[in-house]
Amino acid sequence: MELKYVGARPIVTKSGVCFDETKPDNYIFLTPIIDILDALEDVEVGKDIVDIKNMEINHFTKNELITSIKKYCLNWEDLFKKREDKANQRIDMFIADNKKYRNLSKDEEIALFGNIKIMRNYYLHYVLNEMVYKTLLHTLADKFHKLKFNTLLFPVGVNHGLVLSHLIPLLEEYKPPYDATLTIEEDYGIIIGKLEIKKV
């Protein structure tokens, strides 16, 4: 199975399939997080302010993206092996919830299982993208901890700010934990993002 964009999280019911647009496919965040990780590669430890506003914005082919991910995602093969179990767990939980709360008739249950079967490959891709992205977020949190900076300046756009907003809960749970604040500011007429972090 390859890594690819599939779309928003599927919601499967006895009536068919719709998509939760508030839960986008994490595939869209893979290139932006690689952009940030690449930009931090040569940053020296202990700088107060790290400025990556002019970082390179990558436009990867599928193969280039996978090569770049493997550079930061050392458990790549494990993720591929675990995706099946993770997708099956999610499907089983979804089936259990439907049976518990929806009082399905036998025909409705057959329709639900049929719709889930149709969407199985979609689930596998969605779950794999989610697992890869979460692994990269943990790698980025480790990188922040290692570099020991207080402020990160970054370009706004192409989902970089969203990636860093997803990172904040990880930093708050890190050992030791960090306080993190993300703001958008104007600098000489240019909109920039600022992430300030400090150990709690």
pTM of the model: 0.89
What is the model's pLDDT at position 1?
A: 59
Packing angle of the helix pair 120-147, 160-173 (nearest 10 deg)? 70
H helix intervals, the chain:
30-40, 62-72, 76-102, 106-118, 120-147, 160-173
Residues of the chain with pLDDT under 70: 1, 101-102
> Where are the domains positioned within the chain?
9-199
What is the model's pLDDT at position 15?
A: 81
Among 146, 185, 160, 179, which Cα is nearest to 47's?
146
**Whether the Cβ atoms of residue 17 and residue 116 lie closer than 8 Å to each other:** no
